[in-house]
């Protein structure tokens, strides 16, 4: 059960992030200009996706170890919301790319890797919907989710760091924390990370409760 107080806190934090993030002062950086405000949305979404998929992974492992269907439902719920947040992160990243790199999509290992891994997780849902046997569906889909998570690490964390990449913090490029974040932005960015994560965990718990009631 997700504490109701935390859902209120998440809502208040994100209202603060939305208002201050859109009208607050940001540093004037070449090329980035006002698009640097996307940092409050795009990056926390990806952080939230990482957290949700990690929780989904933990529940997949728990299911395979115990056979408890509750863990299977939790894994599906967290992965579902994680993928939705990942798609939103991908879309906000495309908007950012258009205004900073001049195109909606460029041949960048992190962008390509994000598309591949989201498609891999899409296959997770296809697998679950194609198997009528509940036990077989749970076993195969949770094994697959572990594989998809490992590939997610490879495509989004490992490969972009060892190859040429336009993405900050990858391919030898410095991360935002090294040259772009000033004190004003930190006062919005860090709460944004907390707020987005709390919100998505709350949505995941609601999704789990709905799926549990549908059994």
Q: Give the whole-angstrom CA distance, residue 62 versus residue 35.
A: 41
- The pLDDT tens digits for 52-101 are 999 999 999 999 999 899 999 999 999 999 999 999 999 988 888 888 87
Identify the pLDDT of residue 106. Answer: 81
For 170, the token pair is 């990858």
pLDDT top residue among 160 and 125: 125
pLDDT top residue among 32 and 39: 39
Any domain includes 120: yes
CA atoms within 13 A on the CB side of 90: 20
Identify the pLDDT of residue 181. Answer: 63
Q: Give the whole-angstrom CA distance, residue 141 versus residue 19.
A: 40
Using DSSP's 3-state secondary structure scheme, residue 19 falls into helix
Q: Which residues contact 161 (CB under 8 A, 6 or more apart)?
A: 170, 171
Any domain includes 28: no
Q: Give the whole-angstrom CA distance, residue 76 versus residue 2.
A: 17
Please determine, for residue 205, whether its predicted confidence score (pLDDT) is greater than 90.
yes
Range of the domain at 107: 4-20+33-213
Any domain includes 27: no
For 154, the token pair is 């490879």
Q: Is 147 exposed, middle or buried (0-12, 13-18, 19+ CB in 10 A)?
A: exposed
Number of domains the chain contains: 1
Compute how many other C-beta atoms are within 10 angstroms of the C-beta atom of residue 77: 24
Identify the pLDDT of residue 57. Answer: 96
Q: Is-contact 95 127, C-beta < 8 A?
A: no
Identify the pLDDT of residue 171. Answer: 47
- The pLDDT tens digits for 130-184 are 988 889 999 999 999 999 999 999 988 888 777 766 666 554 544 555 445 667 7
Any domain includes 143: yes
Q: Give the whole-angstrom CA distance, residue 167 versus residue 159.
A: 12
pLDDT top residue among 36 and 80: 80
Any domain includes 26: no
Percentage above 70 pLDDT, the chain: 89
> What value does the mean pLDDT take over residues 8-28?
87
Any domain includes 64: yes
Any domain includes 68: yes
Q: Is-contact 49 86, C-beta < 8 A?
A: yes
Any domain includes 53: yes
Q: How does the average pLDDT of the chain come out, rounded?
A: 86
> What value does the mean pLDDT take over residues 17-25?
86
């Amino acid at each position: 059960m997700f504490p109701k107080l935390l859902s209120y806190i998440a809502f208040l934090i994100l209202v603060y992030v939305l208002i201050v993030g859109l009208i607050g002062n940001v540093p004037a950086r070449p090329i980035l200009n006002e698009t640097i405000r996307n940092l409050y949305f795009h990056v926390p979404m990806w952080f939230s996706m990482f957290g949700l998929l990690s929780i989904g992974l933990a529940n997949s492992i728990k299911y395979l170890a115990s056979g408890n269907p509750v863990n299977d439902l939790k894994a599906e719920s967290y992965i579902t919301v994680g993928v939705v947040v990942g798609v939103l992160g991908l879309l906000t990243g495309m908007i950012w790319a258009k205004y900073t790199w001049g195109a909606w999509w460029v041949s960048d290992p992190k962008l390509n890797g994000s598309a591949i891994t989201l498609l891999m997780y899409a296959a997770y849902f296809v697998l679950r919907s194609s198997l009528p046997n509940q036990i077989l569906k749970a076993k195969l889909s949770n094994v697959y989710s572990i594989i998809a998570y490992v590939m997610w690490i490879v495509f989004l964390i490992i490969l972009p760091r060892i190859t040429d990449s336009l993405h900050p913090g990858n391919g030898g490029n410095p991360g935002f924390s090294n040259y772009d974040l000033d004190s004003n932005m930190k006062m919005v960015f860090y709460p944004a990370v907390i707020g987005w994560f709390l919100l998505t965990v709350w949505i995941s718990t609601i999704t789990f409760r709905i799926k549990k009631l549908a059994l």
